[in-house]
Amino acid sequence: MSSSSAALQERSGAERETPVLVVDDLRTQIHTPHGDVQAVDGISFTLGRGETLGVVGESGSGKSVLGRTIMGLYTTGPTMTVTGRVLIAGKDVHALSASELRDLWGGDVGMVFQDPMTALNPVKKVGVHLTESLRKRRGMNRPQAKARAAELLALVGIPEPRRRLDQYPHELSGGMRQRVVIAMALANEPALLIADEPTTALDVTVQRQILDLLARLQDELGMAIMLISHNLGVVAGRADRVAVMYAGRVVETADAAALFDAPHHPYTEALLEAIPRLHQPPHVRLAAIDGSPPNMVAPPVGCRFAPRCRYAQPDCTEAPPSLDPATVNGAVTPGHAFACYHPVNAGGQ
């Protein structure tokens, strides 16, 4: 594993137990008529039991492709090439057969998709969505599965759970549908939960309820969570560590408190500046990042953020910076790494 990969995995404090998730030099290349898109480009990290990793970045940065590749939904075939290694609970995801993958999805890993209406079959009742997995994976009979499904709906905060089992997805509100998707993902108490934009299209009150729910269930079940979001504000206070993605690469990673306190990559700084603040007057114009993400069929040769970066220098366009550990007065800052030739808030580098 490269030194940049090691930097991404370094943790402060006591050593963690064997990681629930290991991602090593993962690359997902999508083949299109216009050329190959490197949607995920050399990403490595580990995630321990009970730990939350926030993965943030603009739309198109590769966050969802990363989550689906880790899940095993994206594999090498006619339309894409996947290289690198993903271990979930010690199992090599991309070495599993189709049947073994289905067992993995129903056992060690669960996923919450960003749009619950596409994750739920509109012609199946809520109860069927839940009981199918319980009967297949847990060997429950129909009454046992129905009783457990009602318990799961109650666990995620849905009122009158037994009545909801006989309803169709369209009869529920957006927040309740999202809770159903979470209940499905947690049905078999997975070691890892991948939550891809779990609060998208929900109002802020329901967003808070969903995030609080995930935190409570994590405490109860001890699972690891990979929380994917385009909004740093969503992961603030929710993640132990944050990985910032831009154009398929991780450009900065750190413990959440350190990242919010002193980001080193200009892109991270720009994302933080775009978050609304309570002390700002109403209707204030938020800071925007100039320009657009690069064309991933032909990305810039050097730093992919350089064309939009206010701190860019000529060397930024010559070669891509590596993800290296942050240092203060020559001493490595545990768990903090960034890929930038001209970092911000990095006095003493």
List the chain domain ranges.
Answer: 3-101+193-338, 115-189
Helices 98-106, 126-138: axis angle to 10 degrees equals 110
Q: How far apart are CA 221 and CA 187, in angstroms?
A: 11
Please, are residues 184 and 129 in contact by the beta-carbon 8 Å criterion? yes
Q: How many residues does the chain have?
A: 349
pLDDT score of 5: 43
Digit-coded pLDDT (tens) for 119-141: 899 999 999 999 988 888 888 99
pLDDT score of 341: 95
Rg of the Cα trace of the chain?
21
DSSP 102-148: HHHHHTTEEEE-S-HHHHS-TTS-HHHHHHHHHHHHH---HHHHHHH
- The partner residues of 194 in beta bridges, in order of sequence, read 111, 226
Q: Coil, strand, or helix at residue 161? A: helix
Q: And the tokens for 332? A: 């490595």
CA 172 to chain centroid, in Å, comes to 26
pLDDT score of 278: 73
Please, are residues 104 and 93 in contact by the beta-carbon 8 Å criterion? yes
Q: How far apart are CA 339 and CA 321, in angstroms?
A: 5
Q: How far apart are CA 63 and CA 230, in angstroms?
A: 8
pTM greater than the 0.85 cutoff: yes
pLDDT score of 8: 46
pLDDT averages per 10-residue partition of the chain, 349 residues? 44 58 97 94 95 94 95 93 95 91 86 81 94 86 93 90 95 89 87 88 79 87 92 86 96 94 94 81 82 92 95 94 84 88 77
CA 29 to chain centroid, in Å, comes to 19
Helix (H) or strand (E) holding 267: helix 266-273
- The partner residues of 227 in beta bridges, in order of sequence, read 54, 195
Digit-coded pLDDT (tens) for 14-57: 334 689 999 999 999 999 999 999 999 999 999 999 999 999 99
CA 310 to chain centroid, in Å, comes to 28
pLDDT score of 4: 42
Q: How far apart are CA 89 and CA 240, in angstroms?
A: 20
pLDDT score of 13: 39
Q: And the tokens for 143? A: 């009454």
Q: How far apart are CA 129 and CA 136, in angstroms?
A: 12
Structure letter (DSSP) for residue 13: S
pLDDT score of 312: 94
Q: What architecture is the 3-101+193-338 domain classified under in CATH?
A: 3-Layer(aba) Sandwich (3.40)
What is the edge-to-edge ordering of all strands in the sheet holding 80-88?
35-47, 21-32, 80-88, 91-92
Q: How many CB atoms lie within 10 A of CB 30?
A: 18
